[in-house]
């Protein structure tokens, strides 16, 4: 029996405002517990929320960037539940009238472009945090995060594989970063996602029973958790069993999901319009103003790089998928105008070195100008492409510029015919057997001779010249 996977994501993005959504408290991360608080976000009786206008602006930006309809009138609602990190006993969110609806974004997986629907985007406040003591049976409440503005982005169940889900998540991450409305930090929880997943027999229209996965704090984890859940649900269904609708927690240490709560324990939130907050009415002028102020978006930047520089789909997609990386690329491009070569270097050397060090582009020791200088040295023949890789690794470690590394390590390319010929003579006399074999027709041995010469020059021989001189010397006699 074959199954089809169905996935829908709920993404929470913390908005990059200076102050909270309904009070003037700072949203700064990492402050001493309960210092970024006031009677409003502590949920004291008798206080009244005052809406932060920037939150609405950011939500509109996101809606416009994801092809949503902006509801000119929308409204906050109370989502009622008890939890120690929620002092009011309700979270201010949006329910029946969210700010944005019916949007879509495009993702590319396996060279196919696919449109994924956005059901809605709504604004809400974040809750506080519980910190559980590692040793004592004690938990602490930190309300610094209470009232931090969030948007929740709910997708249609349009995703058909963990890979598509990861691509969609990356796409939305890129968009919030381009719009500069969220810092995108998944480790700190500024950008987080819950994934709903179900399986159905291929060809069946009705969706199967879904589970909801929580606690995934990286793109990799999201994909891994979903892949695990596909296998788990498939095993149950193949066994003739039934998937239980429940919330599961992903454990990145054991690579499995664990039950958190089942449907029976699910909340009934008793939503109702918040009487403390009037409906939000958005004017056409405001929407027009925001529309013209939107920056270039990831897919637009991608098309531009493909059209103007001839980059491949893949290269352009990866480079523009991360705003910082795309900025890095375009800054380097100012001083080194071969876009294809630059992209190639970034896709291979730079990304590999970053991955090995588990670094983000923002932590990279090599500046865009530094990379431009290095590639210029290769083009000018000062160093070979192979040596450039060594130099680059050294630059990544020490932060020194290319010129300094090349000088310190004496890596300038050898292009002097006389010097090289002398070494070639030495090699020929030191390897008479190989020379005879080569001259007898075993021309594959050329590689051996080139290797010898590279060893002698510590990789510094100009490769073209080396090949040319060796061929001449070997063929002549
Ligand atoms: P809830 O409010 O209980 O989380 P929603 O109906 O708002 O439920 O759906 C939340 C998410 O679950 C949406 O992204 C939606 O696309 C997705 N979803 C709904 N039904 C299914 C299903 N059967 N399989 C996978 N995803 C689903
Ligand atoms: Mg949900
Ligand atoms: Zn406050």
Relative to the alpha carbon of 154, which ligand is closest?
1
Is 90 exceeded by the pLDDT of residue 256?
Answer: no
Mean pLDDT calculated for residue range 85-100: 96
Each domain of the chain, given as residue ranges in start order, spans 3-285, 296-408, 417-475
**Measured from the CB, is residue 197 less than 6 Å from ligand 1?**
yes
Which residue from 32, 216, 68, 256 is spatially nearest to 154, judged by alpha carbons?
A: 68
Check if 25 has its Cβ closer than 6 Å to any atom of ligand 1.
no
Report which ligand 1 atom has the smallest distance to the Cα of 198: 24
- CB of 6 closer than 6 A to ligand 1? yes
Return the structure tokens found at 148: 């931090």
Atom 13 of ligand 1, nearest CA residue:
8
What pLDDT is stored for residue 264 in this prediction?
60
Q: Answer whether residue 126 shows pLDDT above 80.
A: yes
- Lowest-confidence segment of 84-88, 368-372, 416-420 by average pLDDT: 416-420
Give percent of the chain above pLDDT 70.
98
Report pLDDT digits (tens) over 61-77.
Answer: 999 999 999 999 999 99
417-475 CATH: 1.10.10.410
pLDDT, tens digit (0-9, with 9 covering 90-100), for 134-148: 999 999 999 999 999
The number of the ligand nearest the C-alpha atom of 35 reads 3
pLDDT reading at 266 higher than 80: no
154 CB within 6 A, ligand 1: yes
The reply to whether ligand 1 has any atom less than 6 angstroms from the CB of 196 is yes
Write the pLDDT tens digit of every residue in 314-325: 999 999 999 999
Q: How far is the CA of 160 from the centre of ligand 2 (A)?
A: 18
Over 90: is that where the pLDDT of 252 sits? Answer: no
For the CA of 209, the nearest atom of ligand 1:
23
Ligand found nearest the CA of 230? 1
The least confident of 104-113, 223-232, 455-464 is 455-464
- Ligand 1 centroid distance, CA of 70 (Å): 22
Nearest ligand to the C-alpha atom of residue 243: 1
For range 73-100, the mean pLDDT: 96
- Output 235-242 pairs: Cβ under 8 A, ≥24 positions apart: 237/1, 237/3, 237/199, 237/208, 238/1, 242/209
Residue 124 has pLDDT above 60, yes or no: yes
- pLDDT at site 417: 84
Predicted local distance difference test score (pLDDT) of residue 473: 87
Distance CA 394, CA 136 (A): 47
What gap in Å lies between CA 470 and CA 439, rounded to an integer?
Answer: 12
* Alpha carbon nearest to ligand 1 atom 5, residue: 154
pLDDT tens digit sequence for 343-394 = 999 999 999 999 998 888 989 999 999 999 999 989 988 888 888 999 999 9
152 lines ligand 1 (CB under 6 A): no
What's the count of helices (H) and strands (E) in the chain, helices before strands? 16, 16
Q: Which CA distances in Å does 447 have to 73, 318, 458, 464?
A: 73, 35, 16, 13
């Amino acid at each position: 029996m074959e199954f089809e996977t169905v996935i829908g994501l709920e993404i929470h993005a913390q908005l990059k405002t200076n102050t909270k959504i309904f009070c003037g408290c700072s949203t700064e991360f990492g402050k001493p517990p309960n210092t970024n608080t006031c009677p409003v976000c502590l949920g004291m009786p008798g206080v009244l929320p005052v809406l932060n206008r920037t939150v609405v602006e950011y939500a509109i930006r996101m809606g416009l960037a994801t092809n949503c309809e902006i509801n000119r009138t929308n409204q906050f609602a109370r989502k009622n539940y008890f939890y120690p990190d929620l002092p009011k006993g309700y979270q201010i969110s949006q329910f029946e009238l969210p700010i944005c609806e019916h949007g879509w974004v495009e993702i590319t997986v396996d060279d196919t472009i696919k449109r994924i629907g956005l059901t809605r985007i709504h604004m809400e406040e974040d809750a506080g945090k519980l910190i559980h003591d590692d040793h004592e049976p004690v938990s602490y409440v930190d309300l610094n995060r209470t009232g931090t503005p969030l948007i929740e982005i709910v997708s249609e169940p349009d995703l058909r594989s963990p890979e598509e889900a990861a691509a969609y998540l990356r796409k939305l991450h890129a968009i919030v970063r381009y719009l500069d409305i969220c810092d995108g930090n998944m480790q700190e929880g500024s950008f987080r996602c819950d994934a709903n997943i179900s399986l159905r027999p291929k060809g069946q229209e009705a969706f199967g029973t879904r589970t909801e996965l929580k606690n995934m704090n990286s793109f990799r984890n999201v994909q891994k958790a979903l892949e695990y859940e596909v296998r788990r649900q498939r095993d149950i269904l193949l066994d003739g069993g039934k998937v239980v609708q429940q919330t599961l927690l992903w454990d990145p240490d054991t690579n499995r999901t664990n039950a958190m709560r089942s449907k029976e324990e699910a909340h009934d939130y008793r939503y109702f319009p918040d009487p403390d907050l009037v409906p939000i009415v958005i004017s056409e002028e405001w929407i027009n103003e925001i529309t013209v102020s939107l920056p270039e978006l990831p897919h637009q930047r991608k098309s531009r790089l493909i059209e103007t520089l001839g980059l491949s789909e893949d290269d352009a997609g990866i480079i523009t998928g991360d705003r910082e990386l795309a900025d890095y690329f375009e800054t380097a491009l100012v001083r080194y105008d071969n876009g294809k070569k630059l992209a190639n270097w970034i896709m291979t050397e730079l990304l590999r070195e970053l991955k090995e060090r588990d670094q983000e582009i923002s932590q990279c020791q090599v500046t865009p100008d530094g990379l431009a200088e290095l590639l210029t040295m290769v083009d000018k023949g000062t160093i070979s492409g192979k040596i450039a890789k060594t130099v680059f690794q050294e630059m990544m470690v020490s932060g020194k510029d290319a010129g300094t590394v090349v000088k310190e390590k004496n890596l300038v390319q050898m292009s002097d015919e006389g010097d090289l010929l002398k070494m070639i003579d030495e090699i020929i006399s030191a390897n008479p057997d190989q020379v005879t074999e080569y001259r007898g027709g075993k021309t594959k041995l050329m590689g051996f001779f080139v290797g010898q010469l590279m060893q002698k020059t510590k990789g510094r021989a100009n490769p073209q010249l080396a090949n040319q001189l060796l061929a001449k010397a070997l063929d002549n006699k």
